[in-house]
Amino acid sequence: MIKAVLFDMDGVLAFTEGFYNRRRIRFLQERGVPVDPDFDGTGSNDGEIWERLVPGDAALRERLHREYRAYSDEHPTPWLEVANPQVRPVFSALKEDGLMVAICSSSYRSLIEEFVDTVGVRGLVDFIISGDECSAYKPDPDIYLRAMARLGIEPHEALVVEDSPLGIEAGVAAGALTCALMPPSGVELDQSRAHLRVQRLVDVTHLVQTAALHGIA
């Protein structure tokens, strides 16, 4: 029986990737750093993205990354614009059914906290963990294993909701039933490793009730 649903944030609870891509490109262009205007970091973690954006020169990459953190504070994420509108009703429905809810994201904790407070779901979330607090980023399963341990559940009692190949791999490696939220039109992601796919976040509430039928929970 599923006892907790563990959500990724970017691409699942909030459609941030397009905004982040544009902000990174604008930042580098303003500093005269050559960058592909069509660069897309969707599905990658922060370290991998910056290695792709500024290859070869580690010192320059580190400096620009530090400056970008300050730039991001000056150009904050418009959470109310990018939030998945189904987050609050889905979280509410899960809590009403007696399930625990966790957010397990590779984003910085400060961003996760901003999102939770801005969309008003603080009281509906049992646990938050950032990739920065783990031994390795996704696809390593550590972030999900830590969340399960903190919530006091076994892998077969968890449903992981992801969108990216790295996140899906992390959920599968953690031993959880792993569901992929299909990406918006125009975004291509390999979700073939997911046990299940859904078109809408609200469909997750139905999966919790039928998970045992798939031979995993």
**Which of the 8 DSSP states describes residue 14?**
B
Q: Whole-number mean pLDDT of the chain? A: 93
Query: Residue 73, Cβ neighbours under 10 Å: how many?
Result: 9
Q: What is the pLDDT of residue 154?
A: 97
Written as six digits, the tokens of 66 are 């530090």
Concatenating the DSSP letter of every residue in 100-124 gives EEEEEESS-HHHHHHHHHHHT-GGG
- What is this structure's pTM? 0.91
Strand 4-7 and strand 158-162: the pairing is parallel
Contacts of 64 (CB under 8 A, 6+ apart): 28, 31, 33, 50, 54
Q: What is the pLDDT of residue 199?
A: 95
What are the pLDDT digits (tens) for 66-119?
999 999 999 999 999 999 999 999 999 999 999 999 999 999 999 999 999 999
pLDDT band at 3 (very low <50, low <70, confident <90, very high): very high
Q: Which of 212, 125, 107 is nearest to 167 (CA)?
A: 107
Q: Which of 109, 134, 91 is nearest to 4 (CA)?
A: 91
Least confident of 33-37, 100-104, 165-169, 205-209: 205-209
Q: What is the pLDDT of residue 102?
A: 98
Q: What is the pLDDT of residue 188?
A: 86
Helix 165-173 crosses helix 142-151 at what angle (to 10 degrees)? Answer: 50
pLDDT band at 192 (very low <50, low <70, confident <90, very high): very high
Q: Are 146 and 129 in contact (CB under 8 A)?
A: yes
Q: What is the pLDDT of residue 211?
A: 63
